[in-house]
Amino acid sequence: MAVGDIVLGPNQYGKAEVRLVRVTRDTPVHEIEDLTVTTQLRGDFTDCHTTGDNTLVVATDTQKNTVYAYAKEHGVGSPETFLLRLARHFVDDFPQVTGGRFAADQHAWDRIAVDGEPHDHAFVRTGRETRRTVVEVAGDDAWVVSGFTDATVLKSTGSEFWGFPRDRYTTLGETTDRILATSVTAWWRWTGPDVDFEARYPVVRDLLLATFAQVHSLALQHTIFEMGKAVLEACDDVAEVRLSCPNKHHFLVDLEPFGLENPNEVFYAADRPYGLIEATVQREGAAQVPHVWASVPGFV
């Protein structure tokens, strides 16, 4: 092949955002699991792209059907386990599939309370954050990242911001007591695929949010580093943590024109612009896996 010939570069394909609701109804107390699943296969698909020969193409419709059939046959369980099981099927059962990317968002439901009791089969979607996972597979290797988006958190004190450089464009005042609010997007990479994800996910998630609450913040940068550090210190099965946090500014309203004092009580919650603070927290010298992070949405 001569230099300059047109060739196919990296590619993947699959079904995006398969909406799956699995009801477990073995007893009168039903359980629901609600996921949005994306499958993307990688492998020997050159002929399809270059000549239209579909001999090796596992149709995206088949991929979608497999998601539903696997939910019936194997149940869902943790989204991570569900994706690993799907990934192994596509890679092990189709020789042309060498790997892929598999992603799931989990939508949370609570039981509706009736007379103070949780109802057996009626649910309300919670406004909580969305749990997410991405699984990357290449041959026998698998990498799993878990995380969540849109966990909106606020502390009404315990946050300072001062000591920053001042130039002729600086108007921001220094403060030793402000509201700190953000919508946490957090992702962490597990050291391997053999993790009890259902047990470990809430441990990491709760630790991140508890650290947000407990750290006396000198900057949002300071807080998010401490959040990641707390997880790495407590969890041997987590290799690294990535956080993306918009600084949801709360500006003190000037009530002086109305003859009122405002000792950090009345704020204007600004929408835009917002500071966007992002960081990776990792173990020194640890091996990096940039190809996994390249497929995690929402990171620079």
Residues within the annotated binding site for 5-hydroxyisourate?
A: 60-61, 161, 178, 221, 247
Q: Which stretch binds ligand URC (CB under 6 A): 1-9, 117-125, 203-211, 214-222?
A: 214-222
Three-state DSSP at 258 gives helix
Residue with smallest beta-carbon separation from ligand URC? 220
Gap between the Cα atoms of 168 and 218, Å rounded: 23
Shortest Å distance, C-beta 182 to ligand URC: 9
Gap between the Cα atoms of 211 and 218, Å rounded: 14
Shortest Å distance, C-beta 160 to ligand URC: 9
Q: Which is nearer to ligand URC, 39 or 247 (CB)?
A: 247
Residue in 21, 122, 172, 286 binding ligand URC, rule: CB under 6 A: 172
Is 250 catalytic? The answer is no
Shortest Å distance, C-beta 256 to ligand URC: 23
Is 249 catalytic? The answer is yes
Is 191 catalytic? The answer is no
Q: Which is nearer to ligand URC, 202 or 275 (CB)?
A: 275
Q: What is the number of H-type helices and E-type strands within the chain? A: 6, 12
Gap between the Cα atoms of 79 and 35, Å rounded: 8
Shortest Å distance, C-beta 224 to ligand URC: 9
Please return the burial class of 98, using the count of CB atoms within 10 Å of its CB with bins 0-12, 13-18 and 19+. Answer: middle
H-helix or E-strand containing 38? Answer: strand 31-43
Q: Which stretch binds ligand URC (CB under 6 A): 17-25, 109-117, 217-225, 285-293?
A: 217-225
Of the chain, the end-to-end C-alpha distance in Å amounts to 35
φ, ψ for residue 95, nearest 5 deg: -60, -30
Q: Residue 21: which of 76, 80, 103, 73 has the closest Cα? A: 76
Residue in 95, 118, 275, 297 binding ligand URC, rule: CB under 6 A: 275
Q: Which residues contact 260 (CB under 8 A, 6 or more apart)?
A: none
- List 30, 49, 60, 119, catalytic entry: 60
Q: Residue 191: which of 154, 147, 237, 151 has the closest Cα? A: 237
Q: Which is nearer to ligand URC, 39 or 211 (CB)?
A: 211
DSSP class of 48: H
Binding residues for urate: 60-61, 161, 178, 221, 247
Question: Which residues, numbered 218-247, are part of the site for ligand URC (CB under 6 A)?
Answer: 219-221, 247
Residues in contact with ligand URC by the rule CB under 6 A: 161, 172, 219-221, 247, 275
Active site residues: 15, 60, 249
